[in-house]
DNA sequence: TCGCCGTGAGAGAGCGCTCCCCGACCCGCA
DNA sequence: TGCGGGTCGGGGAGCGCTCTCTCACGGCGA
């Protein structure tokens, strides 16, 4: 009726609890004979170790929390990058025998709860996706003593190990491409400026444009499609002779394409458009989008690896991955 | 140094372990005086109950597994519907105090491990997303005795409680719309036929078309964008006078739009296109896509609720939600 | 032959919590 | 004042596992 315990297996196999434990945990100091006996009993009884009992004594859970600290709008979890991150991190962590506990913390209450969850010892480590500057969660988690790796350089909570990619280099690549192809008035549509990613991309845009002796022209978006369209309309109103736009992500670039079409401007004839992220949809726009590939899967995988190392007492070296420009037809 | 235990709190507050336990678990038979004493000690010590110890004795984990049984290609977890499901289910489950353990089981080995994970008692229940016919996971999970709810009617493993929406009604709505708007040769692009959703939508298409005295014309896709484009090309080759297409999901409809454009057909002028799912991208195609809204968030929420009921010993009534047609410009 | 060492099995003490059961205390009533 | 009933706190036995410590045994060298 009830589930077999280690003791039941021991009785069945005619050996001690200790021996069963040793076999189940793969220790080497067991004679093959006894090992076989135990394995047979395990099979017959369908024994599976009770995880609660095990982690009570080992103080390990073999679980890793993937916490997505999301503003109420659900910005991050709506982003196409999100499922890439989840997928890559899951794959890596599960290959290492860790269970992934997904936590979408989209309210302060949920963040509070996530913090308590981690502090209570439910998980061995945390892979944190938190992009907004004022987010209290990174600091909160750092205080728990549980290993934490941030996916993306955190705004505050410096000192938290993180994995990121080279936003500055990537954005510079795109902007320089626009300038090199002969565009005179190169504008940008930024992401929300409390995100380090958005700030880095904007700074790189500014530097690159100024280096070329041009004046920066910026409209602020929030990484959503609609905000991209809105920002593009503003740009067209304020700077009618704009002939190139670097949008800080593809979603906003897609919005910009739409706004340009509505305004009767042709892409890339009248206005060149470059995006950032290389999401799948960038392939299917009209025209296909020139964009910066942000290696989300590799970044998530690197984050997972860094975390796994930390959990095993390894070092906390931040990782920064390179980016590359994908040239298509929009610029 | 080490984390405070319930016993430490009891000592601090000058009461017994039992009283602390009662306070922490919100039992009513505690005098306000003692309750305050305990809460003060809890606060001072920063006490958090050890979940392993607790679930060892209660046999509850307060965790729910969200298992996405995905073919190797990552079809489901690539689908825009995926994050909607994750988000809605998470929200509902977390509001009920359950932690969501996400499991992307995209290989047989991973499925095996997921089954063992559940059988070992890591979670109190499972919300299963498994769409492919031959998937052994539903049956495996059913055998564990842990409550399972399937998101979408499972192909095999009848008897598994599920939550779905009315594919038949939804598809009929779309096809009838095409016919009623005067289209003569209405084709369909199907999903993979080992998925009940794809089969239901195809059957509804057939019935509706035949009812109108027409001949069904079908090309087989696999719910991906590229397969939609490919299927559309086949349809154009085999039936050049096709003037309407019902794609079994929006992704394939988007692929079809692309193939139609490449072939020089105008939408909706030459060919009307209808999709299914109402993903966000359907708003941004050119022209915007007429589609059937499949209420993924509501479905996921209903699934979570059904599961929560089951965990508490409630009934296992399947739930089927209604669908509606969203008419835009493509048909 | 004796003793020492190494290898491998067994016994049992917890890990931190819940919950049953008992006992104490307080109140009201006679 | 004594007694009964009800309420509430405390003691302690486990939940199932790991891991240390002890012990038995066999082999080998002197």
Q: What is the pLDDT of residues A163-201, one digit of tens each?
A: 999 999 999 999 999 999 999 999 999 999 988 999 999
Please enumerate in sequence order all residues whose Cβ is within 8 A of that of B227, keeping only pairs 6 or more positions apart, or say none: B189, B221, B252, B255
Beta bridge partners of B69: B105, B130
Chain D footprint positions (protein CB, under 7 Å)? 7-12, 14-20
Q: Are B123 and B146 in contact (CB under 8 A)?
A: yes
The reply to whether residue A104 touches residue B122, judged by beta carbons under 8 angstroms, is: no
A40-66: per-residue pLDDT in tens? 999 999 999 999 999 999 999 999 999
Residues of A in contact with B66 (CB under 8 A): 102
Task: Give the residue among A110, A125, A195, A192 at the shortest CA–CA distance from A160.
Answer: A125
| Per-residue model confidence as pLDDT tens digits over A90-102 | 999 999 999 999 8
pLDDT above 70 for A74:
no
Which nucleotide's C1' is closest to B59 (Cα)? D15
How many angstroms away from the CA of B219 is the closest CA of chain A? Answer: 22
Q: Tell me the angle at which helices B6-13 and B17-24 cross, rounded to the nearest 10 degrees.
A: 110
Residue A75 has pLDDT above 70, yes or no: no
A11/D29 CA-to-C1' distance in Å: 40
* Residue of B52, B56, B87 lying closest to A77 (CB–CB): B87
**What phi and psi, each to the nearest 5 degrees, are found at residue B14?**
75, 30
Between A134 and B150, name the one with better pLDDT: B150
| Domains of chain B in sequence order | 6-58 (1.10.260.40), 63-163+297-319 (3.40.50.2300), 167-293 (3.40.50.2300)
A·B CB contacts under 8 A: 109
Q: Does the nearest atom of strand C lie within 7 Å of B5's Cβ? A: yes
Task: Please name the residue of chain B whose CA is at the shortest distance from the CA of residue A80.
Answer: B80
Q: Nearest to residue A50, comparing CAs of B65, B141, B121?
A: B121
> Is strand D within 7 Å of residue A53 (CB)?
yes
Query: Closest approach of chain B CAs to the CA of A290, in angstroms?
Result: 18
Find tokens 């209290």 and name the residue.
Answer: A136
Query: What pLDDT, on the 0 to 100 scale, is given for residue B72?
Result: 66
C-alpha count within 13 angstroms, C-beta hemisphere, residue A306: 25
Residue-wise pLDDT tens digits, A271-307: 999 999 998 888 888 899 999 999 999 999 999 999 9
Q: Is 90 exceeded by the pLDDT of residue A134?
A: no
Q: In percent, how much of chain B has pLDDT > 90?
A: 68
How far apart CA B323 and CA B315 sit, in angstroms, is 25
| Amino acid A78: pLDDT | 63
Q: Is the CB of B3 under 7 A from strand C?
A: yes
Calculate mean pLDDT across residues A73-99. Answer: 81
**Whether A55 CB is under 7 Å from strand D:** no
Confidence at residue A271, expressed as pLDDT on a 0 to 100 scale: 97
Alpha carbon of B274: minimum distance to chain A alpha carbons (Å): 18
Q: Which residue is nearest to nucleotide D20 (CA to C1')?
A: A18
Predicted local confidence at residue B156, as pLDDT: 77
Q: What is the distance between the alpha carbons of residues A256 and A233, in angstroms, rounded to a whole number?
A: 8
Low-confidence ranges of chain B (pLDDT < 50): none
| Residue B45 contacts strand C, CB under 7 A | no
The CB density around residue B116, as the number of other CB atoms within 10 Å, is 13
d(CA A237, CA A215): 17
pLDDT at A84: 83
């Amino acid at each position: 009726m009830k589930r077999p315990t280690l003791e039941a297996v021991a009785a069945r196999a005619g050996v001690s609890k200790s021996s069963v434990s040793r076999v189940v945990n793969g220790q080497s100091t067991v004679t093959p004979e006894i090992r076989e006996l135990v394995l047979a009993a395990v099979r017959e009884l369908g024994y599976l170790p009770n995880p609660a009992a095990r982690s009570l004594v080992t103080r390990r859970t073999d679980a890793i929390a993937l916490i997505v600290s999301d503003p109420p709008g659900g910005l991050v979890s709506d982003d196409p990058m999100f499922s890439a991150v989840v997928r890559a991190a899951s794959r890596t962590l599960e290959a290492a025998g860790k269970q992934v506990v997904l936590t979408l913390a989209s309210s302060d209450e949920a963040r509070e709860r996530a913090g308590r969850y981690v502090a209570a010892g439910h998980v061995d480590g945390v892979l944190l996706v938190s992009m907004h500057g004022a987010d209290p969660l990174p600091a909160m988690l750092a205080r728990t003593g549980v290993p934490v790796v941030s996916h993306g350089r955190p705004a505050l909570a410096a000192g938290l190990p993180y994995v990121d990619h080279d936003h500055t280099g990537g954005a510079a690549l795109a902007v320089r491409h626009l300038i090199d192809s002969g565009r005179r008035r190169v504008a940008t549509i930024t992401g929300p400026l409390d995100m380090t990613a958005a700030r880095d991309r904007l700074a790189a845009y500014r530097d690159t444009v100024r280096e070329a002796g041009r004046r920066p022209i910026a409209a602020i978006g929030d990484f959503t499609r609609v905000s991209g369209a809105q920002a593009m309309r503003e740009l067209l109103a304020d700077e009618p002779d704009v002939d190139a736009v670097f949008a800080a992500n593809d979603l906003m670039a897609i919005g910009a394409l739409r706004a340009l079409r509505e305004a009767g401007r042709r892409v890339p004839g009248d206005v060149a458009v470059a995006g950032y992220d290389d999401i799948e949809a960038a392939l299917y726009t009209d025209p296909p989008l020139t964009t910066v590939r942000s290696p989300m899967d590799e970044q998530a995988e690197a984050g997972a690896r860094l975390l796994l190392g930390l959990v095993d007492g390894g070092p906390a070296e931040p990782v920064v991955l390179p980016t590359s420009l994908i040239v298509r037809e929009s610029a």
